[in-house]
Amino acid sequence: MKPPPPGLRVRLPAFVCVAQVAVVASYAAFVTYDEHADARFQTNATVAADNALYADYPAFAHIQVMIFLGFGCLLAFFRLYGFGGMVFNFLTAAFTIQWAVLAQGYFRFSRGGVIRLGVINLVNAEFACAAVLISCGAVLGRTGPLQLLVLALLEVPVLACTEWAVLEHLRIHDAGGSILVHLFACYFGLGVSFALYRPGLNDGHPKATAGYRADILSAMGTLFLWVFWPSFNAALALKGDDQHRAVLHTFLGLSGSTLAAFALSAALNRDGKISMVDVQNATLAGGVAVGASVDMMISPAAAYALGVAGCAVCMLGFRYLTPFLARRCRIQDQCGIHNLHGLAGLVSCAAGICGILMADEETYGPSLYETFAHMAPPEGDPRLRELRVLVPGLKPGLGRSAREQALYQVAAVVAVVGVAAVGGVLTGFVLKLPQLAAPPDELCFDDRLFFEVPPDYDSAVPLADVTPEDSAADEHLVM
Amino acid sequence: MKPPPPGLRVRLPAFVCVAQVAVVASYAAFVTYDEHADARFQTNATVAADNALYADYPAFAHIQVMIFLGFGCLLAFFRLYGFGGMVFNFLTAAFTIQWAVLAQGYFRFSRGGVIRLGVINLVNAEFACAAVLISCGAVLGRTGPLQLLVLALLEVPVLACTEWAVLEHLRIHDAGGSILVHLFACYFGLGVSFALYRPGLNDGHPKATAGYRADILSAMGTLFLWVFWPSFNAALALKGDDQHRAVLHTFLGLSGSTLAAFALSAALNRDGKISMVDVQNATLAGGVAVGASVDMMISPAAAYALGVAGCAVCMLGFRYLTPFLARRCRIQDQCGIHNLHGLAGLVSCAAGICGILMADEETYGPSLYETFAHMAPPEGDPRLRELRVLVPGLKPGLGRSAREQALYQVAAVVAVVGVAAVGGVLTGFVLKLPQLAAPPDELCFDDRLFFEVPPDYDSAVPLADVTPEDSAADEHLVM
Amino acid sequence: MKPPPPGLRVRLPAFVCVAQVAVVASYAAFVTYDEHADARFQTNATVAADNALYADYPAFAHIQVMIFLGFGCLLAFFRLYGFGGMVFNFLTAAFTIQWAVLAQGYFRFSRGGVIRLGVINLVNAEFACAAVLISCGAVLGRTGPLQLLVLALLEVPVLACTEWAVLEHLRIHDAGGSILVHLFACYFGLGVSFALYRPGLNDGHPKATAGYRADILSAMGTLFLWVFWPSFNAALALKGDDQHRAVLHTFLGLSGSTLAAFALSAALNRDGKISMVDVQNATLAGGVAVGASVDMMISPAAAYALGVAGCAVCMLGFRYLTPFLARRCRIQDQCGIHNLHGLAGLVSCAAGICGILMADEETYGPSLYETFAHMAPPEGDPRLRELRVLVPGLKPGLGRSAREQALYQVAAVVAVVGVAAVGGVLTGFVLKLPQLAAPPDELCFDDRLFFEVPPDYDSAVPLADVTPEDSAADEHLVM
């Protein structure tokens, strides 16, 4: 065996040291407390129970579970790469959130050059973190920790800038993050994977197999994501009935995709057997597919049907598109993120546009202009004054028609996919720098490269006994 | 080895397809949003923070964890049936909740033929789901996914109808679901198991053994249930002090049963060793045992003692009753649900009746008539007007005495056990239909039948080396 | 193999039986409901949503997850001691909380000889439980369940009495429990370990090795602790902005320590490889290090830097101090609690004192006198009346200057460390009583002594093949 790539011992600490000095300096220079966290704003009229903490913290905690436990377990499905799957996710996520607070703060949340930190900033940073972790899924096991950190370092500002352009300027509707989490993350990740293409892995890798206990752990990760996904989709919706609908729709969508995933898994397998890859991934497609319309009055039945549709495209993608992308387009998609996040994300965006086109005052009442801020009359419009009688405190909008808004949504999808793909490819080329200690082909999917491993690592099946042919887990290795 | 039963490839997708079309059609026809989720009801007087979502969602999320992660891990204790234990639970639960929303909606929550969906409906559906999953525990590893789905299909309407009769007509008190979750589920499950009796499994099955890592995972499932059980028992109690007591009592009951379970496990083992089966099950008996009286003023000491008592009957049931039922009554109870849910449930019902008999205005103050709605004076009674001075908005009750109510409770227990047992036996006979693809005896407790398995499945111990005699895990195979 | 120590079959049940009778009797005699859980206090002015349950339950539930799932998984890292690590933690925690309710109630929360039980008491008891579990970490695998229960039995009253002295009399500031959880627990545990010194284990133990799947499970435990630590540190802070800052600081501190832990782990390893021991422990140092200043206006950057500093001392302790303590001071620290809780706790205390010295009205506004109750003017001081105009309901304080308070904090640290160490040593000598069934040297770290184990226990690697020399997991065995 060749020695491991030299220098993780120096390079990882060096990168972290520089990063931490920069983070401390930036936080010291630019970050202070927001008014709900600052003792000076606690006047004698302040009621402690009204602190924004109590409205935002439950969603924050739930999404923390999704990111650290959900993704962490889900990515630990390789038999010999359980440490890497779980703890590089931990490392990357911890770095991404602290960095996203700064990047999103710079682009979106600063006032007077100062970022006012509250739990709500952490929730927004968690959305960026979810995007980074999804992107990492495309190159799981083929990248070292330093590469993952640099990936996060580069993806976060691109994402934050895109969010700023799309949310603040195009003013699109994307409560569940279909465009700015799922689509962005997917095409960024595929771009990275394209740049990191390894022809040597194209015929399967002997270590890229799932393990029995590892698959069960991975399914637990799916369950963590499944259970708390309603909190994710509702976190950034408007408080009140909008969040209530978001919870209902997400739950229904996930229910629909779960049943469909089991059924399609058996139907598409020649022996009628269920594949754990499908259980681990396609069951979640409903959460993605309802994302863009999650706070709209689309009806419970439509949310359920969306979940089924999202699952169907996801399953078909796993069976037919992923192998095609690997063979023909040099895009190796280790976790199949294109199916779960890309294809289901496109379904979601289409549904969101339909939801916008069908929104009317009859269905929504006057709160139409809150849920769809773009439809509210602009400042100065006399209609705004009328509406404010019905909806006190209504913010002025853009006075766009539904059709106009639909065009903006389409434009945003196209722009986000383009920016993400280009950004991903460029990032991927940066990740090829030899200083970033990419694992050599034969030590991909192998914890021994980066970790001290206990003696029972690899005891279960001598590796020589495992041939890719006899391995159902092959499907994890989508080539 | 015989080929697997033909047709899961066609039958599971066919069933799911029909089910999903029916679900979408039914939701489209009958389900709309409740007022807290409907944008039209958001008037200018609506305060978003008052949305029922914020009161109901925490309990919903906690019970989701219990159902999907708690039960999922707990049922994965077989060494070679970890996929089946965890993910058939996932499939069954996802199907049950969507179906229970309809069934409970039809029987209990529809107004004008319309089911108004809110998170509270999902919480109620989760209770029905818990019942179905408990029932499935009796036949774990001996049933295929199609059988489990049909079981849920049949159990849910029987349960919903029973709930309607018992809660709306008999008007019984059952905050923690002792009667309508634990007893119903237990006797339904035993009925199913009776009908699915397999004499061939009566002398032990070589694959029905626990595994070391599997047992640890299963204990994690227990811990998920243990930690969130207070949320389950409190979810449907009255808001305020009733829920507060429910949390305290459940915690105390579980604490009592946990200590007792360890002690009795050592005491009943000839070597003084602790059995993981007991740790995984009997520690939870306290949560069941306090269920029926969980919101009453029974005193903390009584809640603790109830936990100990529930654990004791559960442990004795595991040691003596379960083998007896298997040998003499043709009831094979794979997970010992009769001990945890049946026996501890009966303790709970007895305690609930005592709590009702001892309830008086001295202990409860005027809120007696809120907690015990049956004791409130009926509409038209002048006493109702007096009480409404003390308790504004008090709903009219039935004017029953405590003794009358106790008789209703007894009647409900008897009726529920009877209905559940008969329903279970009938369901069990339906499950024997050859179209439902029951696993053959030799492929019970074996993931290879329904799943693609990775190559390290079964690597730990060649199966031939395991004889039931040398296996402590035998106790999982309660025959 | 020698037979197991005789009598767990009798002694564990006997201890539990006596304990449960005592608990029931004590609860019956001294414990009643607090006003938020008592039906009689529900008057017609009571709004159910104002019940303290809703403010306290989320923290309670999150800390439950930390204690039962977080610690439970974290301590299951030994390959052959997974049952013991996870379920003795379960047993000890369940016992400790019920006992701490009584002990803390006696010393701190009783009014008129009566303990009024609410969820807030359970939260306080969970803090005591965390301390006991940390102490147990020092002797993990070398103590039987009866010893652990007796350890809890003795540690809890010493801790409760210390809390009473330090919080009610010295009136120190310790929102995150740095002094009363981490330092107390650490030095108590080291004291116990000193008394239980086993020279026979000083050259390594063949079974004291981590396992591959076990290490992954242990990392999950770390993630549970990591995710919910903000709830722990915020639980006992003042409601409102104080809790908001506690959440932000804990998250930032943990983020800082996580990055630093990965970097230092690679830097301190001769091959530049990451050790899972560091990932499992040092990533959490930030949560400890911000504890004492967690609710102060220390700035986000300082919280982050504190996390990095806490991690650095923790890592250096693991590498250099723990082996020294084991070899020279006869203190074997199985989980390295001195590094994570002792050293990082001292960093935290120092930061807390700095925070106190720098607190002024300019930074905090008038709420200074709420956060730092010791600075509020005493009853009768005319300044108190002035301040009450700004902060209605301000409680009278002690009128201490910041310097005085800093001295009290130092005195508290010294006193707590001293009391804990002496209490720990004395407790350790009690634990040596032969009746408490300590495991013999050769059966330490071995589940077979106390559990029925399934047949695949120990199948992965025949024990003879594992020599401590070739085991990276050696570091778990810090000698």
Q: What is the pLDDT of residues A136-179, one digit of tens each?
A: 999 999 999 999 999 999 999 999 999 999 998 899 999 999 99
Burial of B422 (0-12, 13-18, 19+ CB in 10 A): middle
- The distance of B6 to chain A (nearest Cα, Å) reads 8
Q: Report the pLDDT value the prediction gives residue A473, as an integer from 0 to 100.
A: 38
Q: Report the pLDDT value the prediction gives residue B460, as an integer from 0 to 100.
A: 56
pLDDT digits (tens, 9 = 90+) for B323-346: 999 888 999 999 999 999 999 999
Q: Report the pLDDT value the prediction gives residue C466, as an integer from 0 to 100.
A: 43
Tally the residues of chain B: 479
Q: Report chain B's terminal Cα–Cα distance, integer Å.
A: 25
Determine contact, residues C428/C196, Cβ cutoff 8 Å. yes
Domain contains B1? no
pLDDT digits (tens, 9 = 90+) for B72-92: 999 999 999 999 999 999 999
pLDDT digits (tens, 9 = 90+) for C202-232: 778 888 899 999 999 999 999 999 999 999 9
pLDDT digits (tens, 9 = 90+) for A310-338: 999 999 999 999 999 988 899 999 999 99
Residue C111 has pLDDT above 70, yes or no: yes
* Among A429, A430, A374, A380, CA closest to A404: A374
pLDDT digits (tens, 9 = 90+) for C28-71: 999 999 999 999 887 777 788 889 999 999 999 999 999 999 99
Q: Report the pLDDT value the prediction gives residue A7, as an integer from 0 to 100.
A: 61
The tokens for A51 are 């602190």
Read off the pLDDT of each residue in C362-386 and give the average, rounded to a whole number: 89
Check C91 against B259: CB less than 8 A apart.
yes
CA atoms within 13 A on the CB side of C110: 17
Read off the pLDDT of each residue in C172-185 and give the average, rounded to a whole number: 94
Minimal Cβ distance to C243: which of A31, A53, A122: A53
Determine contact, residues B9/A271, Cβ cutoff 8 Å. yes
Domain contains C386? no
- The distance of A178 to chain B (nearest Cα, Å) reads 22
Interface test with C, best of B62, B254, B262 (most C CBs within 10 A): B262
Q: E-assigned strands of C252-308?
A: none
Q: Report the pLDDT value the prediction gives residue C154, as an integer from 0 to 100.
A: 98
Domain contains A420? yes
Residue B375 has pLDDT above 90, yes or no: no
Domain contains C275? yes
Minimal Cβ distance to B219: which of C51, C87, C452: C87
Residue B474 has pLDDT above 60, yes or no: no
Q: In what order do the strands lie in the sheet with A110-111?
A: A31-33, A114-117, A110-111
Residue C27's alpha-carbon distances to B287, C12, C103, C109, in angstroms, are 18, 22, 11, 14
- The distance of C219 to chain A (nearest Cα, Å) reads 8
Domain contains C172? yes
The tokens for C439 are 């495991």
Check A452 against C304: CB less than 8 A apart.
no
Q: Report the pLDDT value the prediction gives residue C373, as an integer from 0 to 100.
A: 86
Residue C472 has pLDDT above 60, yes or no: no
CA distance C278 to C269: 11
Pairing of strands B110-111, B114-117: antiparallel
Check A33 against C363: CB less than 8 A apart.
no
Amino acid at A161: C
pLDDT digits (tens, 9 = 90+) for A185-201: 999 999 999 999 998 88
Minimal Cβ distance to B39: which of A258, A259, A371: A371
Q: CB count, 10 Å around CB of B161?
A: 17
- The distance of A6 to chain B (nearest Cα, Å) reads 32
Q: Kindly identify which residue of chain C lies nearest to residue B255, measuring between CA atoms.
A: C94
Q: Kindly identify which residue of chain B lies nearest to residue A371, measuring between CA atoms.
A: B39
Domain contains B163? yes
Read off the pLDDT of each residue in B213-227 and give the average, rounded to a whole number: 97
The CATH number given to whatever domain includes residue C85 is 1.10.3430.10
Check C227 against A122: CB less than 8 A apart.
no
Q: Specify the higher pLDDT residue, C168 or C194.
A: C194
Contacts of A255 in chain B (CB under 8 A): 94-95, 97-98
Domain contains C375? no
Mean pLDDT of chain A: 91
Cβ contacts below 8 Å, chain B against chain C, sum to 233
Domain contains A385? no
Read off the pLDDT of each residue in B270-284 and give the average, rounded to a whole number: 95
Q: Report the pLDDT value the prediction gives residue A48, as an integer from 0 to 100.
A: 85
pLDDT-derived band at B479 (thresholds 50, 70, 90) equals very low
Q: Report the pLDDT value the prediction gives residue B469, as an integer from 0 to 100.
A: 39
Minimal Cβ distance to B227: which of C23, C64, C76: C64
Check C12 against B279: CB less than 8 A apart.
no
Read off the pLDDT of each residue in A395-416 and give the average, rounded to a whole number: 93
CA distance A207 to A197: 18
- The distance of B69 to chain A (nearest Cα, Å) reads 6
CA distance B110 to A439: 60
How does DSSP classify residue C372? S
pLDDT-derived band at A478 (thresholds 50, 70, 90) equals very low
pLDDT digits (tens, 9 = 90+) for A75-97: 999 999 999 999 999 999 999 99
Domains identified in chain C, total number:
1
Residue C455 has pLDDT above 50, yes or no: yes
Domain extent, residue C448, equals: 8-39+52-358+401-453
